[in-house]
Structure 1
Amino acid sequence: MIDTTVFQDKTAVYYTLGCKLNFSETSTIGKILREAGVRAARKGEKADICVVNTCSVTEMADKKCRQAIHRLVKQHPGAFVVVTGCYAQLKPGDVAKIDGVDVVLGAEQKGELLQYLGNLQKHEKGEAITTATKDIRSFSPSCSRGDRTRFFLKVQDGCDYFCSYCTIPFARGRSRNGTIASMVEQARQAAAEGGKEIVLTGVNIGDFGKTTGETFFDLVQALDQIVGIERYRISSIEPNLLTDEIIEFVSHSRSFMPHFHIPLQSGCDEVLKLMRRRYDAALFASKVKKIKEVMPDAFIGVDVIVGTRGETAEFFEQAYRFISGLDVTQLHVFSYSERPGTQALKIDHVVSPEEKHQRSQRLLALSDEKTQAFYARHIGQTMSVLLEKSKGSTPMHGFTKNYIRVEVESDNSLDNQVVNVRLGDFNEDKTALKGTILI
């Protein structure tokens, strides 16, 4: 038994880097500490506990993690500092050496954080507690609201794909998941707490079911039945795991939105092979075509990496032409970062930082062009929007079913409400359409 009396009236701050999954997990850690008697520190208040949930997807992410730890140690002198997440799993020794860090917890330990806090006495030297990647087995459930309108439901963790450029399988372990029954129960609880939208998160969510003998399609069908949840969004799904069956189901679903996020990474088959991706450009194009056939107004976001080893100028141009011809809505563009221990380091032809930047800028410009064209097609239409509370006197924002960001006059009584809005022209910075609420 853990003696929680030591945590009574203690305060904590939380800092999260990286993906939606990390934010979901941090929220769950916060809930665990809150139930033990720890409250969130107020702005400007010195905290007793600092929790940093790290990312390690790029070298820059590692650097930001170190900076965040140093900053929190300085801002909260004497606080008990816990570091977890991907960077902590991959480089536990390095993190433990950072001044002020007390405990470093790996992927297997983060869900049981409470038992590693002891009596909150500072350590003379940081202690790293991790499990070898091959032995990571636990699945820590997480369904978090945080400060947002929507909930984030973690349905899967880990990855078995081992793409040549990626460290995620080493940081999070092999693919695993909870049961559909447990996911349904968490979704019901979210509905009971007033949640109207749930985003399904994970590392490779289309791989759901490996540890329970179920499938992602089974999960989607079960969640669609939950009374009270009006909207689900699939955060990201590999193109080879996005089946026509799933696409067809979403097209007539009660609550799954016409919104997809599909990682492409490159539109050049030669580069996809070097990346060890499990599809080619033709398969990706077929998925986009299928979505648009049954959901013409669907929002499709796409991840692209530029400047990977082996991406020659010719290969990039080929990828650019392919992406330009896709009927997609938005590109999330990342510059390739060398990661120690990955197979990509064996590939010849290194792209210079200057060339990476140039390629990235071209794709970002293409993304803006596609997103604005998609938004413009909807001007004048009336669509349902789930509104989110505004800060101060700023306009309220919300999203349509197909993920168009809408800006309306502030009325915080409409927070977390679905309302009909007539879509007008772009706002000043073209990040949203102005809307008029219809009573």
Structure 2
Amino acid sequence: MTREKTVAFHTLGCKLNFSETSTIGRLMEKEGFVKKDFDGPADVYVINTCSVTDNADKECRQLVRRIQRRSPESLVVITGCYAQLKPKEIAEIPGVDLVLGAAEKFNIAGHLRELTKGDSARISSCDIEDVHTFHSSWSVNDRTRTFLKVQDGCDYNCSFCTIPMARGISRSDSVANVVANARELAANGVKEIVLTGVNLGDFGKGFEGGKKREESFYELIQALEAVEGIERYRISSIEPNLLTDEIIRFVAASKKFMPHFHIPLQSGSNDILALMRRRYRRELYAEKVALIRETMPHCAIGVDVIVGFPSESDAHFRDTFNFLHSLDVTYFHVFTYSERDNTHALEIQPVVPVHVRHERNKALRQLSFKKQQYFAEQHTGQTRKVLFEGANKDGMMEGYTDNYIRVVTPFRAEWENSIVDWELR
């Protein structure tokens, strides 16, 4: 009797990658593979990479070395953004057997049938201009919360970003298919869906039957509101210029879309925003935050910001710090700028010293901590609905309020994957 083949996965980067890894895992299970833990033995190891920062590249190399030490006879497959951008560089890493670009990541099982350990690393990449298809994906770690990919690629050309080169043009699922996927997830007991994409607000572009399809993100959220069984939706991240007033007002009135937005800012200086080739200025960002606060005073608002972008002076950084200090937002994700090959930002001078980038990162993270504390304190004594996750972590369990305040409490099995009225203390 032939032993079942085993496969283990590791994901670097964003929630979009996690949803895709989960989908690839389900496809491989249909092909007869048995999923194993990445830290244990497996016949095949799949690393789904990111390339937003240098750390993701380095971590990929470290993971391959770890596999080589533990299981030198196993096959190693690298896919994801790093694989699309630098396939030859990855193929030269000792121990890598297969490098799959953006168009091939969902066909891993087919490639593995033709692969033998010991051969030279095989590259199955493609010109990113040839990537036009959309693959539905969702993550399933437990039933509580699922990240559902509804859009991929990006037509923007921000000067610091490699994502259009790694993922191709903006393209989307159809409203009808997303709704069908949501119904399937509801049937499997999922309570909350987080909508994800590279440029989520650009949802609606695609092809069907050879014809161009034009829908909108607003149409999508209207359709999802009517899906029975899903109790919560979150919008993972949406560009401020695509976050329309009608979307904000819809979420404010919705029974299912949570009062929680994550809106990339990147810089509070209009000079830097222009150099970044962002499609808005800080005044528009402030208008969006003001409308959210007017319609949803209790709403959580997350912000992405980059520090140390080329030519960012102390005055530019003060603009960003003071702007964020003045905004009624909840928390920041702070990224230290790192140079990316083939981006326009490499031509911008002067370069900000690395130690200055890190100092600015620390200053914004401290401000973010204070903002988050203040937001939680504003809700002390309120009763809000908390969706508790199923994981028992050392006798404790956690969940999030509708407006994304984390709650930790002793584990109770009857609260798993349940929404509980909770008084915040």
Is the pair's TM-score, using the shorter chain for normalization, greater than 0.5? yes
- TM superposition shift of 1:118: 1.4
Matched, 1:80 2:75: yes
CA distance in 2, matches of 1:77, 1:230: 46
Q: Map 1:131-210; keep pairs closer than 5 Å.
A: 131-147=126-142, 149-210=144-205
Q: Which residue identity is paired with 2:131?
A: I
Matched, 1:303 2:304: yes
Q: Which residue identity is paired with 2:253?
A: H
Structure 1 residues 352 and 117: CA distance shift in structure 2, 3 A = same
The equivalent residue for 1:317 is 318
Structure 1 residues 63 and 372: CA distance shift in structure 2, 3 A = same
Structure 1 residues 44 and 109: CA distance shift in structure 2, 3 A = closer
1:97–1:125 Cα contact (<8 Å) kept:
no
1:11–1:49 Cα contact (<8 Å) kept:
yes
Matched, 1:366 2:394: no
CA distance in 2, matches of 1:242, 1:336: 25
Structure 1 residues 181 and 164: CA distance shift in structure 2, 3 A = same
Matched, 1:100 2:89: no
Structure 1 residues 257 and 392: CA distance shift in structure 2, 3 A = closer
SS of match in other structure, 1:101: coil
1:390–1:412 Cα contact (<8 Å) kept:
no
What's the CA shift string for 1:367-408, capped at 9, x where partnerless?
011000000111111111000123343321000000000112
> TM-score under structure 1 normalisation?
0.93
SS of match in other structure, 1:241: coil
Q: Map 1:21-32; keep pairs closer than 5 Å.
A: 21-32=16-27
1:73–1:81 Cα contact (<8 Å) kept:
no
What's the CA shift string for 1:215-265, capped at 9, x where partnerless?
011111111110000000000000000000000000011210000000000
CA distance in 1, matches of 2:291, 2:37: 49
Q: Map 1:214-253; keep pairs closer than 5 Å.
A: 214-253=215-254
Q: CA RMSD in A?
A: 1.4
The equivalent residue for 2:351 is 350
CA distance in 2, matches of 1:350, 1:374: 35
Q: Which residue identity is paired with 1:78?
A: E
Q: Which residue identity is paired with 1:82?
A: V
Structure 1 residues 353 and 148: CA distance shift in structure 2, 3 A = farther
2:17–2:80 Cα contact (<8 Å) kept:
yes
The equivalent residue for 2:209 is none
2:9–2:37 Cα contact (<8 Å) kept:
no
Q: Map 1:426-437; keep pairs closer than 5 Å.
A: none
The equivalent residue for 1:388 is 389
2:8–2:38 Cα contact (<8 Å) kept:
no
Matched, 1:399 2:394: no
Q: Which residue identity is paired with 2:339?
A: E
CA distance in 2, matches of 1:218, 1:83: 36
Structure 1 residues 366 and 162: CA distance shift in structure 2, 3 A = same
- TM superposition shift of 1:148: 6.4
- TM superposition shift of 1:351: 0.7
2:175–2:220 Cα contact (<8 Å) kept:
yes
- TM superposition shift of 1:329: 0.0
Q: Which residue identity is paired with 1:146?
A: N
CA distance in 1, matches of 2:257, 2:326: 27
Structure 1 unmatched ranges of 5 or more: 425-439
- Residue among 6, 16, 31 paired with 1:36: 31
Structure 1 residues 43 and 241: CA distance shift in structure 2, 3 A = closer
- Indicate the percent of aligned positions where both proteins have the same amino acid: 52
CA distance in 1, matches of 2:344, 2:254: 41
CA distance in 2, matches of 1:85, 1:164: 21
1:267–1:281 Cα contact (<8 Å) kept:
yes
CA distance in 1, matches of 2:408, 2:91: 45
CA distance in 1, matches of 2:401, 2:95: 45
CA distance in 1, matches of 2:115, 2:392: 35
- TM superposition shift of 1:147: 4.1
CA distance in 1, matches of 2:258, 2:59: 34
2:38–2:45 Cα contact (<8 Å) kept:
no
> TM-score under structure 2 normalisation?
0.96
CA distance in 1, matches of 2:394, 2:130: 51
Q: Which moved more, 1:54-63 or 1:194-203?
A: 54-63
Matched, 1:51 2:46: yes
The equivalent residue for 2:421 is 420
CA distance in 2, matches of 1:93, 1:241: 36
- TM superposition shift of 1:123: 4.2
